[in-house]
Structure 1
Amino acid sequence: MESIALKTADMIAEALLARINAGEFNCGKLPGERALSEAFSTTRITLREALGKLEAQGVIYRELRRGWFIAPPRLIYNPLHHSHFHAMAAEQGRQASTEVISAEQVLAQSDIAAALMLAEGDTVYCIRRLRRIDGRAVLYVEHYLNPRFFPGLLAEDLTRSLTDLYDQRYGIRYGGARFTILPGPLPNVAAPALNVAPGSPGLRITRINRDQQKQVIDCDCEYWRYDALCVDVEA
């Protein structure tokens, strides 16, 4: 019985993929699960398995309480390029936007303190932002900054590029970075902002940045929807 269900899910996934490739859902959104179940004469369980197969391939994506959508092209991300989010999107013909969730001074926990080469409990700036591509939330990021380098920064317009702000306001440019990229479940703090259930697959990128004098100035903790990003590095 299980093998029959799996085969049926495969067949439904193939049929849906053919319809997507033919441009049938040009509005960008799939019909509701009930309508699809009736169209394929199958159960919701089998349908969801078929949808999950296409989701795993990056063909479609799901948003809580909104349904299933055709996945747009992934954003190409080369960590070796010192390009900021908005510029990177524009270079690929995409529209980026940034929403500031919060900006405050906090006490550095042990992992952030170690990344910034500070003592645990030292004061740091914490800026939480949600970033969108073509209106779709794809990245939740927490920026932790050593305030010694950026006096008064929290009063600035933090929807703009921090890269540009560092350079234009403080004369600070990136002089190097360390990246750690790990797949894993999205934490509770990031998942709702990205319109997915906590524990959904995601990609965490931690970046520790140095200035032109090789001093550690900030640490970014990025949480990406796994279906929104392609990391492509050419040295």
Structure 2
Amino acid sequence: MNPPSTGQAPQTPRNRQRTRADRARQVAEVLRRQIASGSFTSGMLPDERTLIADFAVSRNTVREALGVLRGEGVVERRQGVGTVIVRRPFEHTLERLTGLAETLGTHGEVVNQVRVAGLVRPPGDVARKLDVPVGGRVVHIERLRLLDGVPLSLDLTYLAADIGEPLLTADLAGRDLFGLIEQSIGARLGSASVTMHAVGGDPHTCALLDIPAGSALFTVERLTRLPDGRPVDLEFLRIRGDRLAFRAELVRAGGGAR
């Protein structure tokens, strides 16, 4: 026997009532993106009344969204002033092969603390990716990178020996590796393969980056090649998730919609 009809539509994913937490998360995500792109040039968020009208949500939802951003250390509430942006993640494009200082130099001073620099016998996977013969060596460089004095990333780099050895006496603290490589070889680099994912940072890395253990990090593996396709630079970057946002313009490939 079928149950009596209530006259109401079943609660499907399309018509289920969104919770205030859902709406607050959406507001926080949009504001976070606006902050990263530099939309609020005054350094402050609009007042609550403006945000309520803009997002068509309640005051409590706006306050919950601002609480999310405060918890992330992105904004803080100052009595008599308003909601002030205290940490703005900077954008790094994925469309061009650029070094960190090339991309972020206009936002502040990029400084590199060189922790390791020398010839080493590479791990097997590194040797394979750089086409290093058995028994061969590579140059290993590890740098802690800071933007305006605040840690941004921990970069582990392996370079083909003939490319890397001339750089051991170069200005590793003040220059991007890409620029140093191109200056050394007298030619431009060619292309790179990039793999990126997010992880909770281990205690040692987080301590170096001055963030709590378990904080979100981007881990980036980038294999850079010369124009002839020869791999010369393998990097493993661990980047603070609260300080950098990646951006790209993508074009949908041809073919009909399904």
Is the shorter-chain TM-score for this pair beyond 0.5, marking a shared fold?
yes
> Would the alpha carbon gap of residues 94 and 110 (structure 1) be closer, same or farther in structure 2, given more than 3 Å must change?
same
In the alignment, is the contact (CA less than 8 A) between 1:109 and 1:120 conserved in 2? no
SS in 2 for 1:90: helix
> Would the alpha carbon gap of residues 177 and 81 (structure 1) be closer, same or farther in structure 2, given more than 3 Å must change?
same
> Would the alpha carbon gap of residues 149 and 95 (structure 1) be closer, same or farther in structure 2, given more than 3 Å must change?
closer
**Match of residue 119 from structure 2:** 105
**Structure 2 stretches lacking a partner, 5+ long:** 1-20, 29-43, 48-64, 77-83, 251-258
Counterpart amino acid of residue 149 in structure 1: I
Quote the Cα distance in structure 2 between the aligned partners of 1:169 and 1:116.
19
**Higher mean C-alpha deviation, range 153-162 or range 50-59:** 50-59
Quote the Cα distance in structure 1 between the aligned partners of 2:86 and 2:218.
17
**Match of residue 165 from structure 1:** 180
**Match of residue 206 from structure 2:** 191
Quote the Cα distance in structure 2 between the aligned partners of 1:54 and 1:177.
34
In the alignment, is the contact (CA less than 8 A) between 1:143 and 1:221 conserved in 2? yes
> Would the alpha carbon gap of residues 123 and 95 (structure 1) be closer, same or farther in structure 2, given more than 3 Å must change?
same
SS in 1 for 2:249: coil
SS in 1 for 2:103: helix
Give % identity: 25
Q: CA deviation at 1:182?
A: 0.5
What pairs up with 1:1-235 in 2 under 5 angstroms?
21=45, 53-54=68-69, 59=74, 71-91=86-106, 93-119=107-133, 122-159=136-173, 160-235=175-250
SS in 1 for 2:156: strand
Counterpart amino acid of residue 230 in structure 2: Q
Counterpart amino acid of residue 123 in structure 2: Q
SS in 1 for 2:91: strand
Cα deviations across residues 117-138 of structure 1 (Å, max 9, x unaligned)?
A: 2356531111111111122101
Quote the Cα distance in structure 2 between the aligned partners of 1:109 and 1:77.
29
More strand by share: 1
Tell me the TM-score normalized by structure 1: 0.68
SS in 2 for 1:83: coil
Structure number with bigger Rg: 2
Cα deviations across residues 181-230 of structure 1 (Å, max 9, x unaligned)?
A: 10002234422210123332211011000012111001111001111111
Query: What CA RMSD, in Å, does the superposition of the two structures yield over aligned residues?
Result: 3.1
In the alignment, is the contact (CA less than 8 A) between 1:107 and 1:120 conserved in 2? no
In the alignment, is the contact (CA less than 8 A) between 2:97 and 2:191 conserved in 1? no
**Structure 1 stretches lacking a partner, 5+ long:** 1-6, 15-19, 24-49, 62-68
Quote the Cα distance in structure 1 between the aligned partners of 2:152 and 2:223.
21
Question: How many residues matched?
Answer: 185
> Would the alpha carbon gap of residues 143 and 55 (structure 1) be closer, same or farther in structure 2, given more than 3 Å must change?
farther
**Higher mean C-alpha deviation, range 182-191 or range 134-143:** 182-191
SS in 1 for 2:132: coil
Counterpart amino acid of residue 181 in structure 2: Y
SS in 2 for 1:88: helix
